[in-house]
């Protein structure tokens, strides 16, 4: 680290201090956060953002560190550029200062002054003495400044070490006894407002206790490659379904197909009757037999070619989540709390799977919240989570908003979830047609019904319905 005699060199010294400070912060964070990084509670980019926030907060102190030896460096450079005639008088003028700053064993100014007066300035020995003195003085200044800077940076880093250690201690202790937020949510809420943190704690308890939310998480959060949720980037590739033997734990439902290894027992009844045997073979040809649906049946895509199966590369992907939430007055109370808990839980699932999540709130008006990165976007949910539901129910605007979003190419194969009491006007045939078209493209529609007089035109469209009341 070279001291500066001008602005540009001084700027470089501050830059080097900044680099040293940042390097130490990264070393501390990587060591302390190692376990929670490996478990996925904290992501590397989030750790980096925290480091940069702390650095920005403390960076101004680095200028003070640089300036601490500023006066001494200023005088040093005045002596550097001084003429030979002025050199000795300048040392004599600052003799008391040198005596205060340096012991003779470090820099014996008196000795150099005595030697300098012995030789004329034109003598090479005089020049050698001057150069030797300046070199020794510079080395002392550099060493002292470097030590001071490292000590100051270590003090700043000690504060950071205490902070991240406290974070890790908190993350290791949350979620005990089935209470409080999960470690991931506890990390996400660290930078949120006190009001939002209180609400998140309340909703976390509901998430832990709600069987409905557990079922939703299972259905919406499972990673099923056989659901064939492939983005349009796969256009031009040939789909190939690969079948592998399923285990008992691998079975996730019932579907249609012609895999005899997964055939439901009731289908064998057709073979026992000669009159129904042809029905069995026709359904086999049409892949209409009832078979167990297993996670081991995977859809894979490959370039259209004659390559063997071993050349195929799996490209299965999940689409985004879209949640339509009825925030009208009829959803207040327990319904409101459960709706908010469902949205929070789904946002965490989307965060875990790195799937975009769009929340559409509707009552008299409609509001959309896009969550692409929960670490930075969680605050966007604060108004929704902390305010009470009110107003009437107008599903029309919500349908328009959701259909427009789901028609986007990047939202193909999305999961759409409705949260409402569905106590509203019937869905018009136009919207029914839109929804059916979206389902044909690959969208899955789920509904949580909070009402006892729910309008059937909505629920008939859902692939699965949960009754909340």
Q: Residue 238: pLDDT band by 50, 70, 90 thresholds?
A: very low
326 lies in the same domain as 302:
no
306 lies in the same domain as 374:
no
Measured in whole angstroms, the distance separating CA 356 from the mean position of its chain's CA atoms is 12
- Domain with 379 in it: 321-467
Position 288 scores a pLDDT of: 78
231 lies in the same domain as 147:
no
Task: List pLDDT tens digits, range 72-94.
Answer: 888 999 999 999 999 999 999 99
Query: Does residue 183 sit within a domain?
Result: no
* 72-76, 303-307, 324-328: least confident range: 303-307
Position 234 scores a pLDDT of: 39
Which one has a higher pLDDT value, 469 or 71?
71
253 lies in the same domain as 384:
no
For residues 154-160, average pLDDT: 90
Position 222 scores a pLDDT of: 66
Position 251 scores a pLDDT of: 54
Query: Does residue 196 sit within a domain?
Result: no
Query: Taking the alpha carbons of 285, 288, 291, 295 in that order, is the dihedral positive or negative?
Result: positive
Query: Taking the alpha carbons of 380, 469, 254, 435 in that order, is the dihedral positive or negative?
Result: negative
Q: How many domains does the chain have?
A: 3
Position 289 scores a pLDDT of: 82
For residues 428-454, average pLDDT: 89
Query: Does residue 462 sit within a domain?
Result: yes
Query: Does residue 191 sit within a domain?
Result: no
Which one has a higher pLDDT value, 244 or 57?
57
Position 153 scores a pLDDT of: 87
Task: List pLDDT tens digits, range 342-388.
Answer: 999 999 999 998 889 999 999 988 999 999 999 999 999 999 999 99
Which one has a higher pLDDT value, 245 or 340?
340
* Residue that terminates a domain, selected from 293, 311, 329: 311
Position 215 scores a pLDDT of: 92
340 lies in the same domain as 302:
no
Q: Residue 214: pLDDT band by 50, 70, 90 thresholds?
A: very high
Burial 222-258, CB ≥16 within 10 A → b, else e = eebbbbebbbeebeebeeeeeeeebeeeeebeebebe
Query: Does residue 219 sit within a domain?
Result: no
Position 30 scores a pLDDT of: 94
Alpha-helical segments (H) within 107-193: 109-116, 124-173, 183-188
367 lies in the same domain as 307:
no
CATH number at residue 360: 3.40.50.410
100 lies in the same domain as 12:
yes
Q: Residue 258: pLDDT band by 50, 70, 90 thresholds?
A: confident
Position 116 scores a pLDDT of: 93
CA distance 105 to 108: 6
12 lies in the same domain as 76:
yes
Position 294 scores a pLDDT of: 59
Query: Does residue 86 sit within a domain?
Result: yes
24 lies in the same domain as 122:
yes
Query: Does residue 394 sit within a domain?
Result: yes
424 lies in the same domain as 327:
yes
Position 178 scores a pLDDT of: 56
Three-class SS state of 5: coil
For residues 421-446, average pLDDT: 89
Q: What are phi and psi of 62, to 5 degrees?
A: -65, -30
Position 249 scores a pLDDT of: 43
294 lies in the same domain as 387:
no
For residues 265-281, average pLDDT: 69
Query: Does residue 194 sit within a domain?
Result: no
Position 392 scores a pLDDT of: 86
Average of per-residue pLDDT values in the chain: 82
354 lies in the same domain as 392:
yes
Q: Residue 69: pLDDT band by 50, 70, 90 thresholds?
A: confident
With 0.75 as the threshold, say if the pTM is over it: no
Number of DSSP helices (H) and strands (E) in the chain, helices first: 19, 10
* Residue that terminates a domain, selected from 276, 311, 346: 311
* Residue that terminates a domain, selected from 311, 329, 346: 311
């Amino acid at each position: 680290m070279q001291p500066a005699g001008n602005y540009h060199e001084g700027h470089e010294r501050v830059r080097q201090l900044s680099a040293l400070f940042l390097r130490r912060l990264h070393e501390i964070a990587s060591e302390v956060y190692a376990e929670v990084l490996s478990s996925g509670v904290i992501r590397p980019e989030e750790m980096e953002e925290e480091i940069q926030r702390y650095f920005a907060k403390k960076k101004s102190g680095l200028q003070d560190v640089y300036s601490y030896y500023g006066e001494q460096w200023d005088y040093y450079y005045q002596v550097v550029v001084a003429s030979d005639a002025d050199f000795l008088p300048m040392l004599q003028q600052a003799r008391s200062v040198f005596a205060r700053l340096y012991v003779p064993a470090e820099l014996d100014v008196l000795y150099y002054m005595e030697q300098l007066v012995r030789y004329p300035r034109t003598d090479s020995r005089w020049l050698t003495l001057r150069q030797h003195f300046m070199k020794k003085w510079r080395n002392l200044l550099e060493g002292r400044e470097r030590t001071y800077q490292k000590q100051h940076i270590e003090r700043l880093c000690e504060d950071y070490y205490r902070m991240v250690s406290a974070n890790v201690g908190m993350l290791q202790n949350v979620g005990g006894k089935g209470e409080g937020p999960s470690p991931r949510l506890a990390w996400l809420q660290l930078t949120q407002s006190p009001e939002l943190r209180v609400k998140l704690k309340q909703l976390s308890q509901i998430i832990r206790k709600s069987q409905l939310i557990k079922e939703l998480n299972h259905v919406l959060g499972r990673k099923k490659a056989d659901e064939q949720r492939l983005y349009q980037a796969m256009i031009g590739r040939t789909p190939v379904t690969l079948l592998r033997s399923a285990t008992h734990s691998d079975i996730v439902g019932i579907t249609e197909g012609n895999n005899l290894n997964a055939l439901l027992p009731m289908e064998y009844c057709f073979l026992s009757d000669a009159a129904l045997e042809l029905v069995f073979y026709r359904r086999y040809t049409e892949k209409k037999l009832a078979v167990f649906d297993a996670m081991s049946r995977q859809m894979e895509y490959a370039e259209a070619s004659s390559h063997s199966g071993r050349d195929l590369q799996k490209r299965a992907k999940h689409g985004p989540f879209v949640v339509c939430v009825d925030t009208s007055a009829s959803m207040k109370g327990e319904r409101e709390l459960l709706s908010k808990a469902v949205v929070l839980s789904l946002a965490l699932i989307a965060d875990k799977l790195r799937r975009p999540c769009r929340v559409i709130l509707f009552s008299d008006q409609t509001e959309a919240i896009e969550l692409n990165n929960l670490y930075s976007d969680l605050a966007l949910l604060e108004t929704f989570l902390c305010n009470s539901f009110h107003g009437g129910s107008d599903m029309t605007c919500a349908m328009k908003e959701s259909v427009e979003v789901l028609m986007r190419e990047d939202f193909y194969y999305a999961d759409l979830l409705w949260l409402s009491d569905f106590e509203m006007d019937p869905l018009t045939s136009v919207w029914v047609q839109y929804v059916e078209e979206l389902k044909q493209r690959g969208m899955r529609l789920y509904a949580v019904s909070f009402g006892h007089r729910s309008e059937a035109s909505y629920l008939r469209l859902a692939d699965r319905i949960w009754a909340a009341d």
